[in-house]
Amino acid sequence: MSHKDSPASPSPKSLQSKSTKGSPSSLDPSDSRTLKIKSLTRTPSSSMKQNVRVSDMQQQLSKLQEELNKEKEEKSRAMEELTNLKKVISSQKITGGIKGKIEALEKEVQKAKESERKMLESLVTQTKLLEQTKISLEESKLENKSLRESNKSLESSKRFGSRSSRNLEKYLSGIDSVPADEDIRTLKNELRLSTEAEEKSKIAMDGLAAVLKEVTMEANRAKATLTVTQSELEKVRAEAESLRSSLKNMEEMYQAASEESERLKSELEDSLAAWNEKEKSFGNCIKIFEEEITKAKAENDKLFQSQRTAREENANLRDILKQAVNEASIVKESLEIVRKENSQLQDLLSEKEKNLQGLKQEYECLKVSEAAATDSVMELKSLLAATSTLDSSKAVSSQENQSTMVSDSNTSTVVQKFSSGHWNGHNTRKQNGHRYSLGEPGKFNGYEYGVGGSPEDKGRITSSLSTMSEIRPPPSFLADDEDTLFSDYFDHIDTNKMYGVEQTNAQRKKKRSILRRFGDLLRRKDTHKQNSSSFRFP
């Protein structure tokens, strides 16, 4: 019976393994393994995240490489343009300011080249780090695969151990006489193998954790370097744009400078031609000016001579003026004398005019009396032949008629000389507001034969003289023909020796000489005024 059941029963090694796995000492390390396996199952998710980050890093690096290539191309273009500008500047010899700008641009290009070198070095280091991270990732992947395989083998061994433990329990319950030494040996071997596998898995897990930490650190470093490189790229781009703008400005400046150089060349040619013409015209002008200077010198000499003569003439004129002033003072004195005499003469004229008025009135009365006398003469003609006394009376009447005719001629001359036209604006000849007329014959008593009359008539004459003293001669008497007018006037006054006015010949000559001298002085004064207005003293 025992032989029949043996093939169905497991081998002793399996029984030993089952007995060892079924024991409580073997169950504790299995639980620890399950925990480690769970931790390993969680690690693949973190490794997936790292793979994603690495892919992002690779894409960013590719973009950076493309941008660097573009910047290299732009810088190469800028260098070509700078070389062209250098050639153009060396050919056309532009001013030192543009050369200084070009040197500054060259310095900026050198700085950009240095920044490019630094960027390239950083990229090389980043690529090396990426390669290392890739290698480490591949290693971690392989380790993850091996760990997964070991986990799978551990799970299968665990399952197998649980089955063997059950079988051992059944077998031990059925058969107790199985040799224990062999089972113990097998169980010890299995325990040793399991402990070694657990130690290897622990070591592998520690290595994975360290590798993951290093990978995360390297990823963070790569991110930091990426940010730095991005900022440097932005700076490089800004520098490239500034270089482009500066190149454009330089091109514009170069074009403007070329245009200005052409314009200046044309202006130089024009200015040279104009300057040659101006030099010729200046030479001609200098010759003309020299001739004019010689002429001006001669004219100046003439003007100096004329100035000397003018000064001499001015000195002579001053002497003449002094003489004229002295003569004017003499004339003023003579004018004062003449004014006094004129006032006296005006008084005399007023008296004479009053006497003339009385004479006119008497003459009118005489005419009336003559008419009456003619009537009486016609009556007495018959008696003249008879009586001698009547003849004598006729002789007396004829003498009276002659005297009246002489007085009429004298009065007519005086009225012509001193008519109302020379004495405008004077008072009418009235005495006590009443004019004498022919109808008042009683007023002319005492004027039949001359100057004599009643004392009342003399009082009236003095009153008329007081009124006539207000009359003054007009300024027309002080004209150039004063001497002739006054001379005629005084001659007439001298000839009319009526009413007791008598003057000697010596006085008449003296007055005439004074009046003539006064007229000459007035004429000289007028001529001096005209000459002083035409000449200006220095």
Q: List the chain domain ranges.
A: 9-236, 474-538
The CATH number corresponding to 9-236 among 1.10.3470, 3.40.50, 1.20.1260, 1.20.1250 equals 1.20.1260
pLDDT beyond 60 at 181: yes
Q: What whole-number distance in Å separates Cα of residue 469 and Cα of residue 168?
A: 195
Q: What whole-number distance in Å separates Cα of residue 78 and Cα of residue 250?
A: 12
Closest CA to 66 of 184, 237, 181, 195: 237
Tens-place pLDDT, residues 228-257: 777 777 777 787 787 778 778 877 887 887
Q: What is the pLDDT of residue 120?
A: 72
pLDDT beyond 50 at 259: yes
Closest CA to 449 of 369, 391, 515, 330: 369
pLDDT beyond 60 at 340: yes
This model's pTM is above 0.85: no
Helix locations, 418-454, DSSP H: none
Do the Cβ atoms of 182 and 15 come closer than 8 Å?
no
Alpha carbon distance, N-terminus to C-terminus of the chain: 182
160-174, 350-364, 431-445: which range is least confident on average?
431-445
Tens-place pLDDT, residues 123-135: 777 777 777 777 7
371 vs 432: which has the higher pLDDT: 371
pLDDT beyond 60 at 485: no
Q: What is the pLDDT of residue 143?
A: 74
- Cβ neighbours of 349 (radius 10 Å): 23
pLDDT beyond 60 at 484: no
pLDDT beyond 60 at 432: no
SS (H, E, C) 454-470: CHHHHHHHHHHHHHHCC
pLDDT beyond 80 at 293: yes
pLDDT beyond 60 at 424: no
- Cβ neighbours of 20 (radius 10 Å): 23
With residue 227 as reference, give the H or E element that holds it.
helix 180-384
Tens-place pLDDT, residues 523-533: 776 665 565 55
Do the Cβ atoms of 444 and 361 come closer than 8 Å?
yes
Q: What is the pLDDT of residue 492?
A: 44
Average pLDDT, the chain: 65
Locate 388 and state its tokens.
């001698």
Closest CA to 234 of 123, 115, 57: 115
Q: What is the pLDDT of residue 388?
A: 60
pLDDT beyond 70 at 45: no
SS (H, E, C) 31-60: HHHHHHHHHHHHHHHHHHHHHHHHHHHHHH
Do the Cβ atoms of 227 and 62 come closer than 8 Å?
no
- Cβ neighbours of 346 (radius 10 Å): 16
Over residues 382-393, the mean pLDDT reads 64
Q: What whole-number distance in Å separates Cα of residue 391 and Cα of residue 377?
A: 12
Do the Cβ atoms of 190 and 17 come closer than 8 Å?
yes
